[in-house]
Chain A
Amino acid sequence: GAGVSQSPSNKVTEKGKDVELRCDPISGHTALYWYRQSLGQGLEFLIYFQGNSAPDKSGLPSDRFSAERTGGSVSTLTIQRTQQEDSAVYLCASSLGRGRFRYGYTFGSGTRLTVV
């Protein structure tokens, strides 16, 4: 597609429920990133996929968080047993990938998650 698409744009869930957030990157972009944006905290790196390589999960805050990327394209971020501190905007970005990083990332508009 023309840009990075994220769905849903807004999600309200009850504490303890599981949620899935979807990211559809730009066609041909081999690298995909998930970030979390909390008020006043900037962007926190969560996970990074590059082609068929094992993902870099070093930013995931707990084992309640997981992500997968199917067919090198669409990615899903799953949060299990949501907590109120998970409330944030979850941003997805894609790029042309390793060795071509100088072109920067293209971000989606994000999913605003509210846990009540």
Chain B
Amino acid sequence: AQSVTQLGSHVSVSEGALVLLRCNYSSSVPPYLFWYVQYPNQGLQLLLKYTTGATLVKGINGFEAEFKKSETSFHLTKPSAHMSDAAEYFCAVSDVRNTPLVFGKGTRLSVIA
């Protein structure tokens, strides 16, 4: 069965600092990997995804993530945090079998002025 582990339920960074949100996955077949963001009282919005091809993927709002098969990781980064980045971030995994997305428990990002 697939699973996702997000290290750190809460991450706090200063405005302008590097954002790093960690995600490790488990999958018996090549994975499809996703990051979603959830703002308060809203649904989830797709930030970026990896399916095949280039392992460094760029998404919206300046975020990017790198698929590292050897480390079974898909960490999310942003060089410079902005106050508007404060939200809940979810990592999710599926695969070529199109199984429903399996989500991690989420990481709440706080940005301090």
Contact = CB atoms under 8 A, between A and B. Distances in A.
Contact of A42 (B51, B98, B100, B106): B106
Contacts of A33: 100-101
A99 interface: yes
Contacts of A102: 32, 49, 51
Interface size class of A (residues with CB under 8 A): 20 to 34
Contact of B105 (A4, A42, A45, A56): A42
A98 B104 CA distance: 23
Q: How large is the interface on B (under 10, 10 to 19, 20 to 34, 35 or more residues)?
A: 20 to 34
B42 interface: yes
A23 B102 CA distance: 20
A107 B44 CA distance: 6
A56 B100 contact: yes
A41 B104 CA distance: 8
A42 B44 contact: no
B46 interface: yes
B40 to A, nearest CB: 11
Contacts of A45: 100-102
A35 B90 CA distance: 13
B52 to A, nearest CB: 8
Contacts of B44: 43, 91, 93, 105, 107
Interface of B: 9, 32, 34, 36, 41-46, 49, 51, 90, 92, 94, 98, 100-106
